[in-house]
Amino acid sequence: MSYSKELIEKLRNDNWGWSDIIINLRKSGKLIEALNILEQQPEDGELLCEIGNIYKEGIDVKKDYIKMMKYYMKSNKLGDSLVKIQIGEAYRDGLGVKQDGYKAIEWFQKAYEMGDVRGSACLISRIYSIGEAGVPQNDQLAMEWREKGTMGWY
């Protein structure tokens, strides 16, 4: 068994989250070695989202937005709620997919419906506020989403 595989198993047994494990592997210089092991883990929405983030940010690998979207979509199929924001951002910015502000809003709304109220509402408000990714500026919708995002925060 490789050092990376042993480390992953130990950290998982110690209830470490995938994000923390990836940070630990990177700090120890073992992320590239471990990436193949991570990609073969039983399907886990959080892990698949984190692998997508590795490819998005180019963390010790070449940026690859097509692979990023592949992992994000797999994560979404497993019900990961946070990945919906990542997918929305990909559509907003045209990373690995054709830029489409309306699809971005759809994904942010899905995140909103799953409980990510503040973050997703803010992202939708921004799109309408500045007229981004092919969506025309709409001050009324921007304000409505800004208010949705602040409900219960003051």
Phi, psi of 41 (to 5 degrees): -65, 155
Half-sphere CA count of 70, side-chain side, radius 13 A? 8
Q: pTM, whole model, 2 decimals?
A: 0.86
> What is the tens place of the pLDDT at every residue in 6-63?
888 888 889 888 889 888 888 888 888 888 888 887 788 899 999 999 999 998 899 9
> What is the tens place of the pLDDT at every residue in 131-152?
999 999 999 999 999 988 887 5
Question: Of 132, 139, 78, which is closest to residue 108 (Cα–Cα)?
Answer: 132
- List CB contacts of 147: < 8 A, sequence separation 6 or more: none
Domain boundaries, the chain: 81-154
Q: Which listed CATH number (3.30.70.260, 3.20.20.70, 1.25.40.10, 3.90.550.10) goes with 81-154?
A: 1.25.40.10
> What is the tens place of the pLDDT at every residue in 47-103?
999 999 999 999 889 999 999 999 999 999 998 878 999 999 999 999 999 999 999
